[in-house]
Each structure stands twice: as C-alpha cells, then as structure tokens.
Structure 1
Amino acid sequence: MTAFEPYPSADQLHQWRHDFHRHPEIAFEEHRTSARIVELLREADIEVHTGLAGTGVVATIEGTRGPGRTIGLRADIDALAIEEATELEWASTTPGRMHACGHDGHTTMLLGAAWALARNPDFTGKVHFIFQPAEENEGGARVMIEEGLFDLFPMDAVYGLHNWPGMAVGEAAVHSGPSMAAFDVFTLRLSGRGCHAAMPHMGDDVILAGCELVTQLQGLISRERPAHQPAVLSVTQFHGGDAFNVMPGTVELRGTLRCFDPALREYLEKRFREAIQASADFHGLTVELDYQSRYPATINDAEQAAHCAEVLESMPEIQKVHYDLPPCMASEDFAFMLEKCPGAYIWMGNGDSAALHNPGYDFNDALAPLGVAWWQALVKHLLG
C-alpha cells in the first residue's frame, strides 16, 4: 500500500487543531467546537446532521462505487476542567478549561479524513463520521445512542482511536478483546453520634470506621478477585470533621471501582455493598451509598480488531504494531458504542509527551497526518 496524498496539508491540520485547543469546552458545552466542525465539513460539501446529544455532529459520505457496507468512525470533541500549564502559543484561552486528553487532535484527524474521502470517495457503501461530545465522565456516547445514533445511522461496524503518550509516533496498539476498563464511582456516607474528642465513648467514631473501611475494602481486590482478572478499587476522597476537639457525626468517602469482566463487576459491587453495611453495623452507624455504574469496559470485537491490525501493518507510516500491551484501567465511553455495534478501538503513539489529563500535556502535531492516513486506509480496506 502506498502512502496517501497529504490532504489536507499538515499545516492545515495543525491550524485546525490549534484553534480547537485554544477554545476548549467541557461536556455538553461544546457549542463553538461543534459549530466549527460543522463549518469545516460544509466547506468540503459533506452532508451534516446536528443535534444528537446537543452538540454532537454526524457527517456522511457515500462512496462512488455503489451500495455496500456502512461503517462509523468516531472522535470525541470535549475538553477537561483543568488549568493549562503548557505556555504554548496555542494554549487555552479559557481559564480552567484545557484539551488535556487530545480530543482536539482526535477531532482534527477525523475532519482531515472526511475532507480527504470527500475529495476521493472511491469506495462502496457509506461512511458516517461521528463527532461525539462529553466523553469525559458524562457518557456522551450513551446519550447519542439513546437519542437515535444507530437508528438514524445504521452501521455494520464502528471504530475509534486514542492518542497514547509514551508510545512513539508511528507506532500503534491493537487489542483483540478488552482495551479499557469499566468505570464505577461511589459516594459513601457514614453517620453516627458526634461527641467531644476527650470523651469518644460518648459517641460513635465515624473516623475510625471510615479508616478501617478504606483498608478492608482492598480485601475485595486482593482476596475475592480471581488472580487472572484485573480490578482496582481506589478511595480518592475522605471528608470528615472541622475541629480539633470534636468527633464528627459524619464522614464521606468517594472513589472508583474498575475492572474488565462484566460478571466480576457485578460481583464486586454486591460485595462492596455488603462490606459497607457490615462495617456500619459493627460500629453502630447508619450508611448511605450512592453507587453509579458509569462506563462499561471497552471490549473490541476480535474480527474488527484483526481488520485494524491488518490495515496498520500495511501502512508505510506505521513502524510497529503492538499486540501484547496490557489493557488500560482507565475508561472510555466508546464502550457504549461497542455494546451496540461490532467495532474496535486502537491506540496511536503520541510520543514522549506529558501524561493524559496532565496540565502540561499537548497532542503531538506529528500524529495528525498519520491519523488522517489511518482513517483513509481503514475505509479503503473495509469498503474498497
């Protein structure tokens, strides 16, 4: 396979990406971003549908070779509530908002592929370009699906990608099964009788109970999880008390539970609830638990992952394809799309950049043309 003509040019892609980066918008607030995406798509005379999940955009290109399969290509468009610390020329102009996960780059690559394929739609069937809002924590993919994504735009398969810091530009990773973990969050409140710190026997020690619980819950991972099935439980917040000499009446703990296997996820939630109630009963406390199952695990369809691997191996722009990298315990709401439609989610190297969700992170501009070539190559392989 020969390299694709670099259209749009690398300079054009960088201009688009820097513009998105300067104007980051968080979940369901991506109004400027969405409008700019629509503007660029229409500039290339591409059919556009707006309004799914509020700020979502779906563009469609039909191939000139006649009827065939239909595939979806997805990019996330939202930013994070982070104060940028890069001091780059194209740094965020919005205080407290930053493209710290590379969604500005993902959007740019998919736009570039849409422009290139609109210029040369030499394939069968149809391609839907899905620009999805609210990937970070708020489940924009789920909302797009609930509002009719796959009913309005039926697809035989759907594909996504994420840039990957620490992996060299020109390298990629494909998993034949799980690639990202399921994501649950919890808020737990233990309540009892507050009292003077000098007389703890007159009240209920919710601080002690909370501290014990933080350590006891790790037994779910170390002793009740099958050794071959990864899982992680992290208590990330502990709030209680506001005076040196008062035993508080309430403490609140927050955190997250992540794993890959759906049955294990269900079991761990059940045991989590039982462990909390048992601890509360032992200490004579009442317990309130808000447990939310946010994202399912991102699990690639093996056949679609194999298609991705074949395409990557054939691209001169890709020097290495990794098949043995462990799946990541972070989460991705593209998982909702994979629950409804066969597909695959790959990683593409972002080079030696800061980590994702870091104030010093920046998407690597060298990756943009490669991502455009990847999307074109995938379409040609599947529909050509």
Structure 2
Amino acid sequence: MSGLLEVASRHVDEIAAIRRDIHANPELGFEENRTAGIIVSKLQAWGIDVTDRIAKTGVVGTIRGRRPGTRSIGLRADMDALAMCELNSFAHASSTPGRMHACGHDGHTAMLLGAAQVLAENRDFEGTVHLIFQPAEEGCGGALAMMSDALFERFPCDRIFGMHSYPVLPLGKFGIRKNAMMAASGRFQVVFTGSGGHGGEGPHTSADLSVVAGHFLLGLQTIVGRNVPPMETAIISVGHIGAGDPNALNVIPARLQISGTMRAFTSEVQRLIESRITAHAETFAQSEGASAEVKCWWLAEPLVNDPAATDSALAAAVDVVGADAVTDDLPRITAGDDFESMMRVRPGAYMLIGNGRHEGEGGGNVHTPNYDFNDQALPLGIAYWLSIVNKELDGRMGSA
C-alpha cells in the first residue's frame, strides 16, 4: 500500500458509513438540505472553516496550509440524486420512493469529506484548499448557480479539479484525456397539438398525432446519420412520450409530447441538431394538419480539460496507483457534467475513477436502478485528492 493510500484509509470505515447514510437518504437538486447538513457538521467538527447556503444548498469548506503560500485550488464534489426508483434491496438502499443515488454523487461527497478529514489533521501544504460541495448537477444548473452566488470571488481558485465514478473502468484504475473529454448535454421538448377526435367513429376528421409522432420518431434517427458530418459525434435519444389517457382508448389525443436528450462536442453540431429537430417536428405536424411547439436547451457545454491541469491530475493519480493503472487517453464520453461551466472560467481537470461493474445488486452502470457506488473506491479517491494537494500546493501527505 502506498503512503497516500495508507493515510487515506485511516478513517475509511467512518467515511463509508457516511456514504451509505447519504445513499439511503437521497435528495434532488437544490433540495440537498440533509446532505448539506451532514457536510457542515463534519467539516465543523474537524475544525474546517465552513460557508453554507451557497446557491441554496451548496457548501464550501476552506482549509489553509500551515506553510505560507499564495496559491489556492478548488476540489469539487456533487451532492444530488436522481428522480428514479432504486431496485437494490441492501440495507442502505434508498428510503425515499422515486429518489436514488444512481450516479455516485454519494461517493463523490464521501471521498471529498474523507480528504477534508485528513487535510484538517495534517495541514502540511502551502496555500489554500477550497472544498466545493455542489448542489443540483443533474440538469438543474447547480454549478452556474454557485458561480452566480460569487463562488470564485469569495473563494478564489487558481485551478479546480473534479472527479466522477466510472463503472466502465475497473476498480483501481483512473482515466482522463486532455482537451475535450465530455459532451455538451442538452434537452429537447416537442409538443404536438391537433384537433383530437373519436378514434372509432371519426378518425378521418381528426389530425392524428400518433401518425405525426411515428414519422417524427423515425425522422429523429436520420439526423445524426444524414446531417451530422461522419467524423463528428452526436446523439439524439427520446426519454419521454406522453399522450392520451389509458382509460380512453377510443379517443385520438389532442396533445402529444415527446422529449429527450441531445449530445455533441462542438457548437456547430449543437446548432445543427437543434435546427433539424425543429424542422422535422414542424414538417411532420404540418403534413397531418397539426402544429408543433419546439424547445431545445443545453444544460452543459462540452467539458474541456486544461492541458497543464491535466498533467497535474495525471501525476497525482500515478502517485496513488502507478502509471500502469492510469489512462491518459480515455475515449471521449457522451455523458455531460456541469462542472464544465466552472472550468470555462478557471483552468481545471476532471478525473474518472474506476468503480467496476457486475451483474445484480450494486452493479451495472450509472443511471441504472441497481447501481451503487463501490466503497472499495473510497480510499483511492481520497488518496487522489490528497495527491492533488501534494502536486498543486507542495503537500507532504503520505510521505515517510
């Protein structure tokens, strides 16, 4: 075991218990009051300066090194859960129906708390570490909200660093890439409106929105293949279709909604898929005598790692697990993260930590109902945060 891992493992049982408690009590974006309360109480108990209620539920803990230094860095973890039902049955499964920590944010919060505890005990570094606990990453704009609440004016950071659970990577592995690593993440909503009618007696007198929807859904599948340049990457996926009433099966609905997600790596492709979704919706609606209202919006722009910050992150991960366990050319990922908005105003790097995946309870990928953060990754993530402090602020955590 490396010196960093040894230090990171000292309180890991306590940190794992916190992680499981947060998992059992998930909260959606800007509602993370209980989670924020746990963070505040722990940071204060460890003698860390705390500022809470940033962008409603955000928390920042500030630790100053005992050696003089002017540099400061930010380490960020997200806190919110997803609006989905958990299918796991273990003791720490969600106790709130329709809420689940299916993206590992409970683990992210726990790893940063673990690093905070060690740093509070051993402030042998130069400068300042700001521990940024962000609300509402899952599509609610928590990063922008914290910046609108003067995050970096109140807590200046020369560089910022983020980390996310990644079940695709085996446990014990880290992965990153320089420059663009994650996609812009957007949403679209199309509302088709028609006359409605009697499906048994008067379908010929109605604008049948099921026909419109069928053409539109098939048309969506041609946008990437026939409009986006072959060397570019884009995704359009439908996540919700709603119309009519299951108790009125002889009624042609007068309103039908189709919503979904968009992903792209360049602004040109973002604008292209927006325009094509709009054109398809309006054209197919008109063909059946209906109308379409289209909304497209972007929750996050592409996440771009700063090359110099990435070099520091790579060196930090190598010090924890060795060069053979660190991938420096991870394939681009079409997931998105609003940490990118912080990285557009401060240079930073976003690391993925291997979580492993398996069948059954606790396995699978993020955003699936059986996922659970792997507690065996906790000391690895804590050690990575300590290693970042070593690299950025001449820290001596894990030294003999």
Which bracket does the TM-score occupy, shorter chain normalised? Answer: over 0.9
Quick one: distance in 2 between partners of 1:95 and 1:194? 35
**Superposed displacement of residue 63, structure 1:** 1.8
Q: How many angstroms apart in 2 are the aligned matches of 1:333 and 1:227?
A: 27
2:320·2:380 contact (CA, 8 Å) conserved in 1?
no
Amino acid at match of 1:15: A
Structure 2 counterpart of 1:102 = 104
Determine the structure 1 residue equivalent to 2:122: 120
Give the share of equivalent positions with the same residue, in percent.
Answer: 40
Q: Which moved more, 1:51-60 or 1:15-24?
A: 15-24
Match of 2:236 in 1: 233
Letter of the structure 2 residue corresponding to residue 208 of structure 1: V
Aligned-partner Cα distance in 2 for 1:371–1:30: 22
Q: Is the 8 A contact 1:34 1:57 kept in 2?
A: yes
Please list every run of 5 or more consecutive structure 1 residues that lacks an aligned counterpart in the other structure. Answer: none
Equivalent residues in 2 for 1:184-203 (5 A)?
Answer: 184-197=186-199, 198-203=201-206
Displacement of 1:199: 4.3
Structure 1 residues 116-146: Cα deviation after superposition (integer angstroms, max 9, x where no partner): 1122222222111001111122121111111
Change (3 A) 1:71 1:220: same
| Alpha-carbon separation, structure 2, partners of 1:78 and 1:330 | 17
- Match of 1:68? 70
Q: What's 1:145 paired with?
A: 147
Partner of 1:166: 168
Matches within 5 A, 1:1-384: 2-4=2-4, 5-7=6-8, 8-197=10-199, 198-242=201-245, 243-316=248-321, 319-352=324-357, 353-384=363-394
Structure 2 unaligned runs (5+)?
Answer: 358-362, 395-400
Shift of 1:177: 2.1
What is the one-letter code of the residue matched to 1:3?
G
Instruction: Provide the rounded CA distance (Å) in 1 between the counterparts of 2:32 and 2:196.
Output: 45
The C-alpha deviation readout for 1:197-256, integer Å capped at 9, x for no partner, is 354432322221221111112222111111121101112222233444433333221111
Find the aligned partners of 1:85 and 1:248 in 2 and give their Cα distance.
33
Confirm or deny: 8 A CA contact 2:40 2:50 kept in the other structure: yes
How many residue pairs align between the two structures? 384
Q: CA deviation at 1:325?
A: 3.1
Tell me the amino acid that sits aligned with residue 88 of structure 2: T
Amino acid at match of 2:53: G
Alignment partner of 2:88: what SS? coil
Residue 319 of structure 1: how far off its partner (Å):
4.8
Deviation at 1:365, TM superposition (A): 1.1
Whole-angstrom distance in 2 between the partners of 1:84 and 1:250: 31
Measured on the aligned residues, the alpha-carbon RMSD in Å equals: 2.0
- State the alpha-carbon separation in 2 of the partners of residues 24 and 251 from structure 1: 32
> What's the TM-score once normalised by structure 1's chain length?
0.94
Instruction: Choose 214-223 or 42-51, whichever is displaced more.
Output: 214-223
CA contact (8 A) 1:182 1:295 kept: yes
Shift of 1:264: 1.4
For structure 1, which segment, 204-213 or 45-54, has the greater mean C-alpha deviation from structure 2 after superposition? 204-213
Structure 1: distance between partners of 2:23 and 2:242: 35
Does the CA contact (< 8 Å) of 1:30 and 1:77 recur in 2?
yes
**Alpha-carbon separation, structure 2, partners of 1:164 and 1:40:** 26
Q: TM-score, normalised on structure 2?
A: 0.90
| Whole-angstrom CA distance in 1 between matches of 2:227 and 2:181 | 23
Aligned-partner Cα distance in 1 for 2:84–2:236:
24
Distance 2:349 2:309 in 1: 6
* C-alpha separation in 1, matches of 2:226 and 2:305: 28
Output one character per residue of 1:20-51: Cα deviation in whole Å (capped at 9) or x when no partner. Answer: 22222221111111111111111111111111
1:3 touches 1:317 (CA, 8 Å); kept in 2?
Answer: no
Question: Which one is further off, 184-193 or 369-378?
Answer: 184-193
- Give a deviation string over 1:269-322, Cα, whole Å, max 9, x none: 123223322333333322212322222222212221122112222324675112
Query: d(CA) in 2 for partners of 1:34 and 1:380?
Result: 27
Change (3 A) 1:122 1:217: same
AA of the residue aligned to 2:335: A
Aligned partners of 2:228 and 2:272 also within 8 Å: no
In the alignment, is the contact (CA less than 8 A) between 1:3 and 1:316 conserved in 2? Answer: no
The separation in 1 between residues aligned to 2:234 and 2:202, in whole angstroms, is 40
2:398 matched residue in structure 1: none
3-state SS, counterpart of residue 268 of structure 2: helix
> Kindly tell me: are residues 15 and 238 of structure 1, through their superposed partners in 2, closer, same or farther at Cα, counting changes over 3 Å?
closer
Distance 1:246 1:18, change over 3 A: closer
The code of the aligned residue for 1:30 comes to E
Q: Secondary structure at the match of 2:42?
A: helix
Looking at structure 1, the residues matched to 135 and 243 of structure 2 have their Cα atoms a distance apart, in angstroms, of 35
